[in-house]
Amino acid sequence: TIANPDAKRLYEELIHVRAYNKLIRPVKHNSERLTVYLGLRLTQLLDVDEKNQIMTTNVWLKQVRSYNKGYSLIQ
């Protein structure tokens, strides 16, 4: 496959070497906070079904995570 070598190396490191688990929060202690900022920008309103109260849209999602620099996976 054609892939960005840095992205491929990061994927290999996280998934295969460190047995990454998406259910584990990236903090040393459970009492530490993990700040995640979300931004949502509505780009298109595709459909509104008033009877069933369903709105179909296209959006841009921006996610920003703030990690403690002492976390072992961050270098």
What pLDDT shows up at residue 42? Answer: 95
C-beta separation of 66 from 35 below 8 A: yes
What integer pLDDT is reported at residue 70 of this predicted model?
A: 56
18-67: per-residue pLDDT in tens?
777 778 777 778 888 888 888 999 999 999 999 999 999 999 998 887 66
Per-residue model confidence (pLDDT) at position 14: 76
| Pair of tokens at residue 72 | 């072992």
How far, in Å, are 25, 55, 74 from residue 4 at the CA level?
Answer: 26, 36, 20
pTM of the entire predicted model: 0.42
One-letter amino acid at 24 equals I
Q: Which amino acid is at 48?
A: V
